[in-house]
Amino acid sequence: MALLRISSPHTHRALGTGAVMRTVVLATLPGLAVLTYFFGVGSLHNVLLASITAMGFEAAVMKLRGRPVWFYLRDCSALVTGVLLGLALPPYCPWWLVVLGSGVAIVLAKQLYGGMGFNPFNPAMVAYVVLLISFPLHMSQWAAPLDIGGQTPGVVQALQQIWLGTSIDGYTAATPLDTVKQNSGLMLNDLYLQDPVLSAGQFVGAGWEWANLAFLVGGAYLLYRRIFTWHAPVAMLASLSIMAFLFYDGGSSTSGGSVLFHLFSGATMLGAFFIVTDPVSSAVSTRGRLIYGAAIGVLIYVIRIWGNYPDGIAFAVLLMNFAAPFIDYYTLPRTYGHKKSERATRKVDQ
Amino acid sequence: MADNNQWQEISEKGLWSNNPALVQLLGLCPLLAVSGSVVNALGLGLATMLVLVSSNIAVSLIRKTVSDAVRLPAFVMIIASLTTCIELVMQAFTYELYTILGIFIPLIVTNCAILGRADAFASKNPVLPAAWDGLMMGLGFMLVLVTLGAIREILGSGTLFANMQLLFGESARSWQLTLFTDYPGFLVAILPPGAFIITGFLIALKNGVDSHLQARAAAKKEKPVKGSKRVRTTGKIA
């Protein structure tokens, strides 16, 4: 028996940018599948349209900048931006909203700052916020989940709504976060019994808990593949849980909702594993990532409960993107063999 | 005293090569805050231009009597009194616009473009060039302001020249052009971030035009001259 002799090095090469990005896209698929199952083809259409237009904008800007188009398209970073934006946008929103969003993400938030690796803000979140503050009406209409609408809109209906503006009757429903935010006077238990979306689910509301679970699965896969470290997402989920626990107050009418409610509603899991972990716009040191993630979790809760918008992932992430260089500056790891760096704490000798 | 060239140079500087808004980046606060529509932009642009011209004249007149040490307070006093005059005039004749522009009319006092011109130009030059400089700088500022206002109004609300009656009387009410019917309104263009982004694009456009012109001028200069020092060992030597 001849053993196959393999010489060192035995470790595999690190994944290239393109491979990492493709893995990320792969990991969003369970979430996309669940969204499509519960809310119909709207999200799928959003993702496809946003990805195609994002790649188109990327190619156009690369052409304008006189760079090799195919080389930069191949790293798939524009594809990831498109997919994330498509997942974040409400299903069945008009087509121009999606196209405008991917244009803002790629041209304004990414390429104007110098392209891949130079953007201080997460492009998909910049686009989401620009759309949210520009078109609050279109951005606040989320489709009703399968369990309460009876059935999701058909493909033809969906395309008519997206491309021609013929609206589907009564396809929208308030999201669980919205319902709890608007609640005044009902105990949380009564609210759960009364609201159709909340009562149709197990603990968060029909569709939402499954979508978040699916994104959690995708995130776990990425962790397993070591695409990112656990620090930022775990810190974010932990601080969000602590905030939710502190302000739960046993489910009174002013309660902010339970810990599970906050972990599995809105875009929590999508944010934790696909947005917060963005390698370009987040903090990079290990301690920095913990601080960065924890601050995002607190901000999300603050915006959800005391802010004007029902969900606050995008705003929280953008605010902390601002702070990421600052966090990195103060959490610089000690270089082996050197003293701990004393950033801005040491008195400068005159 | 002054030849034609000087006037031209002053105008060229004010309108283009040393434009207060696009090159010096002065007066950004009103530039960004009130350029949400053409009428607001035009109103504030005119007010700023008036203050700039008259303050340049006044500063130029007193330039020999005011000592260096107290010149800045003196200039600020002059600008403040002129701004108060403009404010009162606007309150009297365009009251609605006055209420819309609000705090930004008194804030003309703090517009660095005005103090900058007073110190850099008017305090060193005779009255007429100083007045011309104020007019050109003010015009340059106003043009940028109106351009920005037009772009933001089109993007933000899909109209152009809306509410012009605030500035030009009732007959101007019909000037409004509705470019898109049923336009949802790209609100970010009206909000401060839109102002920053669009100003950035305008500056980029100006720089782009400049470098294009430069490249063309350089290409013109490098035309080969016939019969230059070309060395040939065979054939006809030019």
pLDDT in tens, A148-170: 766 777 788 888 888 887 777 66
Any chain A CB within 8 A of the CB of B191?
Answer: yes
Residue B202 has pLDDT above 80, yes or no: yes
Domain assignment present for residue A5? The answer is no
Average pLDDT of the residues in A162-187: 79
Q: Are residues A125 and A193 located together in one domain of the fold?
A: no
What would the two tokens of residue B111 be?
A: 């517009």
Residue A345 domain-assigned (yes or no): no
CB pairs < 8 Å spanning A and B: 19
For residue B97, give the 3-state DSSP assignment.
helix
Percent of chain B clearing pLDDT 90 (strictly above): 25
Tokens of B57: 């004249």
Chain A residue with minimum CA distance to B197: A108
Is A93 within a domain? yes
Residue A200 has a pLDDT of 77
A240/A112 same-domain check: no
pTM for this structure? Answer: 0.85
Based on the fold, state whether residues A208 and A323 are members of the same structural domain.
Answer: yes
Q: Is B187–A133 a contact, with Cβ atoms under 8 angstroms apart?
A: yes
Three-class DSSP category at B178: strand
Written as one string, the DSSP assignment of A163-205 is II--PPTT-B---HHHHHHH--S--HHHHHHH-HHHHHSSSS-
| pLDDT tens digits for range B97-110 | 888 888 888 888 88
Answer whether B184 sits within 8 Å of A138, measured CB to CB: yes
Task: Quote the number of domains for chain A.
Answer: 2
Q: Do A130 and B191 touch (CB under 8 A)?
A: no
Q: Which bin fits A249, alpha (ψ -120 to 50), beta or left (φ > 0)? A: left
> Is the predicted pLDDT of residue A144 greater than 90, yes or no?
no
Kindly report the nearest CA distance between residue B186 and chain A, in angstroms. Answer: 5
Question: What pLDDT digit, counting tens, does each position of A36-55 carry?
Answer: 998 888 899 999 999 999 99
Please, which residues bridge with residue B177 across strands?
B160
pLDDT of B2 > 70? The answer is no
Measure the CA–CA gap between A156 and A67, rounded to whole angstroms.
40
Chain A residue whose CA is closest to B193: A130
> A137 touching B, CB under 8 A?
yes
Q: Are residues A22 and A157 in the same domain?
A: yes
Span A303-334, pLDDT tens digits: 999 988 888 899 999 999 999 999 998 888 77
**What residues contact residue A170 under an 8 Å CB cut-off, 6+ apart?**
A144, A149
Mean of all residue pLDDT scores within chain B = 84
Residue A218 banded pLDDT, cuts 50, 70, 90: very high
Which amino acid belongs to residue A90? P
Average pLDDT of the residues in A87-103: 92
- Which of chain B's residues have a Cβ under 8 Å away from the Cβ of A100? 186
Identify the residue with better confidence: A171 or A265: A265
pLDDT cut 90: percent of chain A above it:
47
Which contacts qualify for A201-205: CB closer than 8 Å, 24 or more apart?
Answer: A201/A147, A201/A176, A203/A258, A203/A260, A203/A261, A203/A264, A204/A176, A204/A260, A204/A261, A204/A264, A204/A265, A205/A145, A205/A175, A205/A176, A205/A179, A205/A265
Look at the block and give the residue holding tokens 């949400």: B36
Same domain membership, residue A161 and residue A179: no
Strand bridging mode B159-160 / B177-178 = antiparallel
pLDDT of residue A270 exceeding 60? yes
- pLDDT of amino acid B158: 82
Higher pLDDT pick, A81 / B161: A81
**pLDDT above 60: residue A344:** no
Residue A117's domain spans which residues? 16-173
Report how far residue A208's alpha carbon sits from residue A226's, in angstroms, rounded to the nearest whole number: 27
Same domain? For A144 and A183 the reply is: no
State whether A155 and A88 are in the same domain: yes
Rounded CA gap, B114 and B56, in Å? 8
Model confidence at A62, in pLDDT bands (50, 70, 90)?
very high
Nearest to A258 by CA among A148, A335, A176: A176
Task: Look at residue B12 and tell me whether its pLDDT is greater than 60.
Answer: yes
- For residues A184 and A304, membership in a common domain is answered with yes
Does ipTM come in above 0.90?
A: no
**In terms of domains, do A140 and A243 share one?**
no
Rounded to an integer, the average pLDDT of B120-143 is: 90
Cβ A133–B188 below 8 Å, yes or no? yes
What's residue A26's pLDDT? 93
State the Cα–Cα distance between residues A151 and A297, nearest whole angstrom. 34
Beta strands in chain B (DSSP E): 159-160, 177-178
The span from the CA of A311 to the CA of B175, in Å, is 42
Mutate to test the interface with B, among A134, A167, A322 (most CBs of B within 10 A): A134
Q: Are residues A110 and A194 in the same domain?
A: no
- The residue behind tokens 């089109």 is B154
Q: Kindly identify which residue of chain A lies nearest to residue B190, measuring between CA atoms.
A: A134
**Residue A132 contacts B, CB cutoff 8 Å:** no
Phi, psi of B200 (to 5 degrees): -60, -45
> Once rounded to an integer, what is the mean pLDDT over residues A209-221?
93
Determine the pLDDT at residue B1: 47
User: Is residue A344 a part of any domain in this protein?
Assistant: no
Euclidean distance between CA atoms B193 and B200, whole angstroms: 11
Q: What value does the mean pLDDT take over residues A213-234?
A: 93
More confident residue, A152 or B46: B46
| Domain annotation covers residue A4 | no
User: Of A142, A173, A204, at which residue does a domain stop?
Assistant: A173
B188–A134 CB contact, under 8 Å? yes
Can you give the pLDDT at residue A348?
Answer: 54
Residues A109 and A81 placed together within one structural domain of the fold: yes
Mean pLDDT of A190-201: 79
- The DSSP symbol for A143 reads B
**Residue A9 falls inside a structural domain:** no
| Percentage of the residues of chain A whose pLDDT score is greater than 70 | 93
Alpha carbon distance B159, B190 (integer Å): 12
Domain boundaries, chain B: 10-217
The residue with greater pLDDT, A277 or B28, is A277
Is there a single domain that holds both residue A80 and residue A125?
A: yes
Q: For residue B235, is pLDDT > 70? A: no
Residues of B in contact with A135 (CB under 8 A): 184-187
